[in-house]
Amino acid sequence: MKKKIMTGMMGILLVLPLVAVCGTPAATLASEGKPMVLGTTDKITVLDPAKTYDFYTWEVFQNIGEGLLKYKPGTTELVPGIAESYEVSSDGLEYTFSLREGLKFTDGEPLDAAAVKWSIDRVIRLALDPSWLVSAFVDRVEVVDTCRVKIILKEPVSFFPSLVASTPYLPISSESFPEDKVAEPVAGHYGPYKINKWVRDVQLVLEANPDYYGPAPRSEVFVVKFYKDAATMRMAVQTGEIDVAWKTLRPIDVIDLRSIGKQKVLEAPGPYIRYIISRCNRPPFDDVRLRKAVAAAIDRGRICEEAHKGTVDPLYSMVPMGMWSHIDAFKEEYGERNLELAKKLLTEAGYSKDKPFQFELWYTPTHYGDLEADVAAIMKESLEETGLMKVTLKSAEWATYAAEYIAKGTMPIFLLGWYPDYIDPDNYTSIFLHTEWSPDMGVFYSNPEMDELLDQARVRVEIEERTDLYTKVQKLMAEEAPVIPFFQGVLTAVVQPNIKGVVLDPVMLLKYYLIYRE
Amino acid sequence: MASLRVYIIRRVLLAIPMILILLSIVFLIMRVVGDPVSAILGGHAPQEQIEQIRQQLGLNRPVFFQFCDYVWQLLHGNLGRSLIWGQRPVVAEIWDRFPATLELSVYAFLISIAIGIFTGTMAATHRNKSLDHVFRLYGIITYSLFIPWIGIMLQLLFGVYLGLLPIGGRIGILMEPKTVTGLYILDSFLTFDPDSLVSALKHLILPSVTLGVYLSGIFTRLTRTNLMEVLEKDFIRAARARGLSEKVVIYKHGLKNAFIPILTMIGLQFALLLVGAVLTEITFSWPGMGTLLFERVSYRDFTTVQGIIVFFALIVVTVNLMVDIIYAYIDPRIRY
């Protein structure tokens, strides 16, 4: 008898799934109240504005939070956020922001001048990865009255308003966040959405924040599904399980989906750039001729066409295309590619066919997508085409690469990528080229002329003057080649045909609150 | 019976040094692969903060003491705290995700045994005929397939082309059965939640079939070999001579006796099942232990990774111990 019961139970367990398939049509989900679902292969690293320093988590924060100023969707124009207006003192050192009245965090605490001060002070005090975005510029914050807060700078910074729009400046509630350590509460923010539920790396459920001053989000409930791999996400958008497939589908999938034509493929140039960094303070790349030889020999066209199937564009400056002051500096200096020049420089440096220049080129295999190994391989081939270079490819996982190898200067030459912290040419130049910060990026480059240009460009307010300075910066950068840009990314989202409001803009942080179903 | 008791006690005692060796290997490897402090703080932290965290995690003490500490805590059911901000106890993290893996594994295992025994029996009873060749080939092919490949093929067929089944996740968006056991199917049964039940079952089919098919090959081959051997035995000939129907001979007498080695294999397969579950979960974005392990490796969350490996290892050791004991119970000749 026992045996029969067992067999029966096993039978039920096995048969049940089949019944489920036959019993229900696939379309039961398509009802009125269906939430908007976005898929991504990115992840929320740490949900605290004082600690997070990655692009995806910043995107989440721009939807559950709002800065004193914010970007107008689709543009890089700054408009009032939780501050209605602001004034700048004549010396450019004091910014006084007037907050909107009666705002409340999602935990019920008031969002006033004291809260803004507390949040900014906390970022400085914790001194974590993104803290420099505050501490390098802000001297102190003062509360003028409940609704007015004054930020006093160390020195005038022409792009300070765009810094204020970045995540480390977001106000958070002192009730939900502890003062002296990192935490990840799901309440205590203020923005168009609030968090309903968050299961790390599985899903994030957002719902409209009823206390938000501005227009309500176009979709009441917004769900983010986190995928482990791009192939699964591609199939999920193909079957309609998700409405929007966001970062990052593989180029081959994008091309495929476009040719099938059932979903819309949206694309926009993004200020995401890729480049090579040389360690400039130690052999072999302290020799400028070798850096220039690499700059002349790399084949940007092949990287874009072969590895990325034409979904990215060759880039000839660290300042991305489409941003003011951009010039094709490396193209002017070396042409699209110049193998003869590379050979000449290497010969001058004492290398020959019998005694080629040997070095290790480093890359990280997954952080920049599955294609990185291909990119590195093409890079190696294009350098070895000179006949005078012998490249050994080496790789390390991102965590080790970023946290240990870069700052320690372990790697003589390596591939890296950049998403902007704030939308200004300064963010694409100073950090790599200024004596003070370039060691942080593993460049270890120092040139007083360059420092002077960058310092000047920081404090000048007139855009013509700044453009002129950044043009000089880019020319000098191409001459000395401490960093060598090779392509600029394109933002791609694949959406269902009835989805509207997916705005891909140069700020690159997707605004969930604009997305809706027609 | 006394000898069985002695055997059990000896087996349990033997498991202890095994677990200790295993723990020290895991512990040492985790110490070699990188620095948890830089994983927590990133590259720009001031020295005093680094020292503070080292102190807090006990990393400033000699490795041997750290290990003793770890084992002592483990005996109290404490696997430490996650290094991810929020610092939840690792046990809680595992507890959140384990039911998903258990659910997937149970179904996958049932599917693999069902397929394996059926195809194996068919092959054995049709020896050297085309059915035998087909199932033998099946056994070899499935065993050598790569799990993500099987998964993607099933996703493409049933998800993309036929549109019958979801290709990822554990249950529909925003659905969540009330938690009783954490096993969605059982929970939705217990709480009479038919919508969740249907959704959970639909999400379960592709991952469990993927893993089930992968594991079934070895059962096919094992059942075939053992059953063929048993069917040559005298008592089977005697059963046939007594005029018993072929069905009774094969299923009641033959298969039952062929089952002992299969049972051992079930125990051994358990480790493979867990490895397979990791790959299957990643392919299907199934929120279980496998995906947890995968995610935490990329965060460099050392304590959680260590906790998951230890947890997996303890399960494998326990299951093997149980199989050995059951084996000894069934077959009194076995006393190592």
- pLDDT for position B247: 83
Q: Tell the residue number behind the tokens 């609030």, with chain if given.
A: A194
- pLDDT for position A2: 47
Please give, rounded to a whole number of angstroms, the shortest distance from the CA of A108 to a CA of chain B. 22
Structure tokens at B326: 């059951």
Position A413 pLDDT exceeds 70 = yes
Chain B hits for A200, CB-CB cut-off 8 Å, are 84, 295
Q: Rounded to a whole number, what is the distance in angstroms from the first to the last CA of chain A?
A: 58
Q: Dump pLDDT digits (tens) for A120-151.
A: 999 999 988 899 899 999 999 999 999 999 99
Please give, rounded to a whole number of angstroms, the shortest distance from the CA of A100 to a CA of chain B. 32
Q: Look at residues B178, B107, B169 and name the one whose alpha carbon lies nearest to residue A29.
A: B169
CA atoms within 13 A on the CB side of A409: 15
- pLDDT for position B191: 87
The answer for residues whose C-beta is within 8 angstroms of residue A65's C-beta and 6 or more apart is A49, A167, A170, A171, A172, A189, A190, A191
Say if residues A342 and A386 touch (Cβ distance below 8 Å).
Answer: yes
Pick from A14, A225, A231: which is nearest to B114 by CB?
Answer: A14
Q: Tell the residue number behind the tokens 């509460």, with chain if given.
A: A185
Q: Dump pLDDT digits (tens) for A221-274.
A: 999 999 988 889 999 999 999 999 998 888 889 999 999 999 999 988 777 899
Say if residues A487 and A183 touch (Cβ distance below 8 Å).
Answer: no
Find the closest chain B residue to A26 by CA distance: B164
Q: Distance between CA atoms of B186 and B281, rounded to whole angstroms? A: 20
Average pLDDT rounded to a whole number, residues A405-421: 90
DSSP structural state of residue A512? G
Pick from B46, B172, B287: which is nearest to A29 by CB?
Answer: B172
Q: Is A284 exposed, middle or buried (0-12, 13-18, 19+ CB in 10 A)?
A: middle
Burial B66-77 (b: 16+ CB within 10 A, else e): ebeebeeebeee
Pick from B164, B173, B291: which is nearest to A228 by CB?
Answer: B291
- pLDDT for position A309: 87
Q: Tell the residue number behind the tokens 């025994």, with chain if given.
A: B117
- A483-495 vs A264-278, strand pairing mode: antiparallel
Q: CA dist B217 to A493, B139, B254, Å?
A: 41, 4, 20
Position A468 pLDDT exceeds 70 = yes
Find the closest chain A residue to B199 by CA distance: A20
Q: Dump pLDDT digits (tens) for A6-31.
A: 455 545 544 444 444 444 333 333 33
- Rg of chain A over CA atoms, in angstroms? 25
Among A219-223, A338-342, A440-444, B34-38, the minimum mean pLDDT is found in: B34-38
- pLDDT for position B176: 79
Whether residue B41 and residue A227 make contact (CB cut-off 8 A), yes or no, is no
Q: CA dist A420 to A425, B4, B61, Å?
A: 9, 69, 41
- pLDDT for position B42: 63
- pLDDT for position B152: 92
Please give, rounded to a whole number of angstroms, the shortest distance from the CA of B151 to a CA of chain A. 10
Segment holding A458, helix H or strand E: helix A448-459
Structure tokens at B31: 């110490």
Average pLDDT rounded to a whole number, residues A388-410: 87
CB atoms within 10 A of CB A378: 20
Please give, rounded to a whole number of angstroms, the shortest distance from the CA of A232 to a CA of chain B. 7
pTM: 0.84
Position B43 pLDDT exceeds 70 = no
Whether residue B285 and residue A238 make contact (CB cut-off 8 A), yes or no, is no
Question: Any idea of the CA torsion for B233, B236, B240, B244, to the nearest 10 degrees?
Answer: -170
Structure tokens at A459: 């404090």
Whether residue A225 and residue B169 make contact (CB cut-off 8 A), yes or no, is yes
**Arithmetic mean of pLDDT over chain A:** 90
Whether residue A202 and residue B110 make contact (CB cut-off 8 A), yes or no, is no
Per-residue HEC secondary structure of A167-198 comes to HHHCCCCCCCCCCCCCCCCCCCCCCCEEEEEE
Beta-ladder partners of A88: A95
- pLDDT for position A18: 45
Q: Look at residues B132, B96, B151 and name the one whose alpha carbon lies nearest to residue B278.
A: B151
Q: Dump pLDDT digits (tens) for A423-433.
A: 889 999 999 99
Find the closest chain B residue to A221 by CA distance: B174
Pick from A21, A46, A402: which is nearest to B165 by CB?
Answer: A21
Chain A hits for B288, CB-CB cut-off 8 Å, are none
Whether residue B283 and residue A13 make contact (CB cut-off 8 A), yes or no, is no
Whether residue A129 and residue B282 make contact (CB cut-off 8 A), yes or no, is no
Chain A hits for B38, CB-CB cut-off 8 Å, are 403-404
Say if residues B211 and B147 touch (Cβ distance below 8 Å).
Answer: yes
Chain A hits for B172, CB-CB cut-off 8 Å, are 29
Find the closest chain A residue to B186 by CA distance: A13
Chain A hits for B212, CB-CB cut-off 8 Å, are none
DSSP structural state of residue A110? B
Q: Is A2 exposed, middle or buried (0-12, 13-18, 19+ CB in 10 A)?
A: exposed
Q: Dump pLDDT digits (tens) for B248-257.
A: 888 888 888 8
Q: Look at residues A306, A300, A295 and name the one whose alpha carbon lies nearest to residue A321.
A: A300
Q: Distance between CA atoms of A32 and B183, rounded to whole angstroms? A: 29
Task: Give B123-142 as a DSSP string.
Answer: HHHTTTSHHHHHHHHHHHHH
Q: Is A239 exposed, middle or buried (0-12, 13-18, 19+ CB in 10 A)?
A: buried
Which of A181, A207, A232, A436 is the best mutation test for B, with the most CBs of B within 10 A? A232
- pLDDT for position B322: 84
Chain A hits for B166, CB-CB cut-off 8 Å, are 239, 241
Segment holding A205, helix H or strand E: strand A203-208
Pick from A35, A238, A402: which is nearest to B173 by CB?
Answer: A35
Phi and psi for B172 in degrees, rounded to 5?
Answer: -60, 160
Pick from A35, A232, A404: which is nearest to B38 by CB?
Answer: A404
Q: Tell the residue number behind the tokens 């070798």, with chain if given.
A: A290
Q: Tell the residue number behind the tokens 């066209």, with chain if given.
A: A301
Which of B32, B38, B44 is the best mutation test for A, with the most CBs of A within 10 A? B44
Query: pLDDT band at residue A110, thresholds of 50, 70 and 90?
Result: very high
- pLDDT for position A24: 39
- pLDDT for position B27: 84
- A159 SS3 class: coil
The answer for residues whose C-beta is within 8 angstroms of residue A461's C-beta and 6 or more apart is A92, A156, A158
Sign of the alpha-carbon torsion through A322, A323, A324, A326: negative
Task: Give A287-322 as a DSSP string.
Answer: SHHHHHHHHHH--HHHIIIIISTTSSEE--SSSPTT
Chain B hits for A23, CB-CB cut-off 8 Å, are 198
Which of B164, B176, B197, B201 is the best mutation test for A, with the most CBs of A within 10 A? B201
Whether residue A205 and residue B174 make contact (CB cut-off 8 A), yes or no, is yes
Q: Dump pLDDT digits (tens) for A45-78.
A: 889 999 998 889 999 999 999 999 999 998 888 9
